[in-house]
């Protein structure tokens, strides 16, 4: 039975260091918006990496709605904690990070107060999540060139420069690119090659560097897989970048849709899960957790 408004409980998990710390400065206004929407609000401020996961895992079952405030890493942590605990709390997200790739992909507002109103009164849509070698991620698992940028770029640079900080660090990384030999099974298709980059994603990932081939559907149970083969000439490098940005397939860019991706790699490779580092080697699985997250989306206006 649906609870009366006065009985609704909301846990606000806020990363006070995300972006320019603007969320922390507006915390009282954010709480006021949720209280006026009929929620009894509890605020939890994260103190370091993994704290959002611990909070969501410990208390998620006690709340009707959990709203996280921060960047994509904060979203990753909170979604992970909710799913690992078995909580069915509705999940809202106020993007306050430096790039907010997931928020941009699904149309969440950059203005925190407007985003809070959407998180208070939006519609709940079941969306997919992912599981990488047993670890939950929200929207993208990526390896190779540019992926280390997200966790190597200093937080101060992210705060000041936003997307430009990632791009500047990515340019520095180009001179050190080396191929990674990897075999992947995308559903039933085997793909093996030397790659410099790859993503398994539920949205347009990596600070806008890749254009998806199809309109993103967050609830279809499938990932978009993008794999970039190793270019051997400057001309091939230019063609590869163009194909990624234009959303095209080419001899250097493999694009597939898959519900399950089996990976085999004989060396330890750094992956980025929503911007958080994860090392993996050997054989493991990336699987889609179809419609596993009751996510609060802005209400679509009638056309």
For 217-256, the DSSP string reads: -TTSS-EEEEEEEPP-SHHHHHHHHHHHHHT--BTTEEEE
Q: Is residue 127 part of a domain?
A: no
**CATH code, domain with 73:** 3.40.50.10330
In a shared domain, residues 98 and 171: no
Evaluate whether 138 touches 79 at the Cβ level (below 8 Å): yes
pLDDT of residue 277: 85
Instruction: Kindly state the average pLDDT of the residues 23-46.
Output: 95
**Is 70 exceeded by the pLDDT of residue 4?**
no
Tell which of 121, 146, 181 closes a domain: 121
Rg (Cα) of the chain, in Å, rounded?
A: 19
Tokens matching residue 152: 């190597």
Rounded CA-CA distance 137/134 in Å is 10
Q: Could you tell me the pTM of the whole model?
A: 0.85
Closest CA to 266 of 144, 200, 176, 183: 183
Which residues face 269 on adjacent strands? 280
Residue 266 DSSP SS3 = strand
Residue 198 DSSP SS3 = strand
In a shared domain, residues 218 and 147: yes
Q: Is residue 264 part of a domain?
A: yes
Q: Is residue 221 part of a domain?
A: yes
Rounded CA-CA distance 231/219 in Å is 34
Q: Is residue 179 part of a domain?
A: yes
**Is 60 exceeded by the pLDDT of residue 171?**
no
In a shared domain, residues 150 and 253: yes
pLDDT of residue 200: 94
pLDDT of residue 51: 97
**Full residue range of the structural domain in which residue 25 is found:** 5-121
Tell which of 89, 121, 153 closes a domain: 121
Residue 160, number of CB atoms within 10 A of its CB: 12
Evaluate whether 99 touches 204 at the Cβ level (below 8 Å): no
The tens digit of pLDDT for each residue in 177-211 reads 788 999 999 999 999 999 988 989 986 555 445 55
The tens digit of pLDDT for each residue in 229-279 reads 988 888 887 788 788 777 778 899 999 999 999 999 999 998 989 888 899
Tokens matching residue 265: 């790699």
Tokens matching residue 239: 């063609």
- 5 pLDDT band, cuts 50/70/90, is low
Q: Is residue 41 part of a domain?
A: yes
Closest CA to 11 of 33, 42, 37: 42
**Is 80 exceeded by the pLDDT of residue 63?**
yes
């Amino acid at each position: 039975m649906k609870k009366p408004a006065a009985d609704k409980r909301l846990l606000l998990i806020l990363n006070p260091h995300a972006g320019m710390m603007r969320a922390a400065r507006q915390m009282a206004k954010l709480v006021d918006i949720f209280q006026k929407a009929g929620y009894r609000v509890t605020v939890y401020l994260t103190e370091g990496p993994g704290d959002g996961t611990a909070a969501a895992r410990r208390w998620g079952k006690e709340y009707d709605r959990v709203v996280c405030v921060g960047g994509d890493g904060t979203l990753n942590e909170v979604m992970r904690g909710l799913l690992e605990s078995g909580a069915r709390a509705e999940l809202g997200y106020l993007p306050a990070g430096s790039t907010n790739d997931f928020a941009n992909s699904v149309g969440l507002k950059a203005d925190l107060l407007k985003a809070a109103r959407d998180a208070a009164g939006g519609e709940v849509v079941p969306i997919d999540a992912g599981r990488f070698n047993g670890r939950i991620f929200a929207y993208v698992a990526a390896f190779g060139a540019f992926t280390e940028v997200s966790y190597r770029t200093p937080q101060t640079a992210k705060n000041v420069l936003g997307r430009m900080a990632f791009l500047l660090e990515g340019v520095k990384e180009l001179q050190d690119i080396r191929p990674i030999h990897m075999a992947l099974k995308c559903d039933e298709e085997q793909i093996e090659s030397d790659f410099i980059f790859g993503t398994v994603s539920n949205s347009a990932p990596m600070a806008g560097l890749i254009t998806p081939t199809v309109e993103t559907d967050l609830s279809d149970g499938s990932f978009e897989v993008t794999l970039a083969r190793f270019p051997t000439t400057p001309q091939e490098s230019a063609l590869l970048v163009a194909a990624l940005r234009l959303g095209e397939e080419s001899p250097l860019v493999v694009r597939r849709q898959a519900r399950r991706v089996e990976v085999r790699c004989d060396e330890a490779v750094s992956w980025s899960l929503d911007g958080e580092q994860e090392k993996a080697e050997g054989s493991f699985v990336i699987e889609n957790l179809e419609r596993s997250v009751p996510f609060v989306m802005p209400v679509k206006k009638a056309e």
